[in-house]
Amino acid sequence: MTLSGEVALVTGASRGIGRSIAVALAKAGAEVIVNYVHSADKAKAVCDEIAAEGGRAMPLQFDVSKPEDIKTAVDTVLKDGKSISILVNNSGITRDGLSMRYSAEDWDSVLDTNLRGAFFTCQALMRSMTKARKGAIVNVSSIVGIMGNPGQAAYCASKAGLIGMTKSLAKELAPRNIRVNAVAPGYIETEMTDKLTEDQRQAMLKYIPLGRVAKPEEVAHAVVFLASPEASYITGQTLIVDGGMGM
């Protein structure tokens, strides 16, 4: 799968799954714009890692929960002559808690970042992608957006909303040769799973037929595929990367 000549914007790309997606896109030949909010040093480290492998990358700071910040940042890139043809909406947060005690502030924070932010980042690029009659958007959802999970009502709602948004945008943008898909990861080796006790990890693995958690790179490979010409006839779909957990 080659993405030579493409420019990709990955939100939340300074660590975790986003970092792996940025690196994988660069290895496939794309120039990558590494979005971050606060972690400038980590974003620079991702760019340096990509450059060390012969790729091209640049950091770009903006907060996806603020539509005006998104538009300003994206417009700056476009005015510099870059034509962004791939967008990966990866930014996400969670504020776990039982629904009966959940605050409106936490609800809004999760939905603003995970769902509202993804929509307005898509919107910021729609005009340029439409003009170019070319584009691939991949939204990073989650298996819990399909299955649900106790204590994560807001997070699950945001990830389920991404799947619905993916289908709607796919239908709107298909006539302009812009494809919109999603990936739905299961449990991934991240800072969160590193904090689990061995008993907690074993309890979790009982629900995964493949018997292990995924590496971030395994999600990244799925994203690269959906962004690539090899997926040119795929749109409006959600590719589940969960080791069979949701079966």
Nearest C-alpha neighbor of 1 from the set 225, 226, 240, 171:
225
Bridge partner list, 57 = 32
Number of H helices, E strands in the chain: 10, 7
> What 8-state DSSP symbol labels residue 188?
B
- Alpha carbon 143 to its chain centroid, in Å, reads 13
Contact 163, 184 (CB under 8 A): yes
The catalytic residue among 36, 102, 155, 187 is: 155
Opening angle at CA 84, ends 48 and 223, nearest 5: 70
Q: Is 155 a catalytic residue?
A: yes
DSSP-assigned letter for residue 43? H
List all residues 6 or more positions away from 196 whose beta carbon is below 8 Å from its beta carbon: 204
Residues forming the active site: 155
